[in-house]
């Protein structure tokens, strides 16, 4: 796809969820430079380096894509323990709860 084929608003929304360029690029199947250009066009300041915290929505989405905590950690570029720690730091959340959310969302899609 070309730069114009990607929706800048969609890229900005995904970046807000993931807080990292690599997972956005992987989800869209494009390069990180494409994502960076779109974010700059949208006036978004791109941070350098890894985010210190992952938003729970990004983790749920990554588990849905990766199928497991290990798959999610690979997509997000962090360790499995970071994923588990972030999930359990959220009130009322557990690995089981996240998997239930993923299964529920998949059922709603089908």
The answer to whether residues 60 and 50 touch, using CB atoms and an 8 Å cutoff, is no
- Does one domain contain both 70 and 105? yes
- Does one domain contain both 27 and 61? no
- Does one domain contain both 29 and 69? no
The number of distinct structural domains making up the chain is 2
Predicted TM-score (pTM) above 0.85? no
| CB neighbour class for 99 (10 Å; exposed up to 12, middle 13-18, buried from 19) | middle
- Report, in angstroms and rounded to the nearest whole number, the Rg of the chain calculated over CA atoms: 14
Q: What is the domain range of residue 22?
A: 3-41
- Does one domain contain both 30 and 73? no
- Does one domain contain both 100 and 63? yes
Q: What are 61-82's pLDDT values in tens digits?
A: 888 888 888 988 888 888 888 8
Q: What is the pLDDT along the chain (110 residues), one digit of tens a residue?
A: 555 567 888 999 898 888 788 889 988 999 999 999 999 988 888 766 655 567 888 888 888 888 888 988 888 888 888 888 888 888 888 989 888 888 888 778 76
């Amino acid at each position: 796809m070309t730069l114009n084929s990607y929706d800048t608003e969609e890229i900005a929304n995904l970046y807000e969820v993931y807080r990292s360029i690599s997972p956005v690029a992987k989800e869209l199947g494009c390069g990180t430079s494409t994502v960076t250009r779109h974010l700059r066009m949208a006036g978004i300041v791109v941070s350098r380096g890894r985010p210190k915290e992952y938003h729970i929505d990004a983790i749920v989405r990554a588990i849905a894509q990766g199928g497991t905590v290990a798959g999610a950690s690979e997509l997000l570029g962090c360790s499995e323990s970071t994923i588990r720690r972030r999930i359990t730091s959220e009130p009322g959340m557990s690995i089981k709860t996240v998997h239930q959310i993923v299964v529920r969302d998949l059922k709603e899609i089908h």
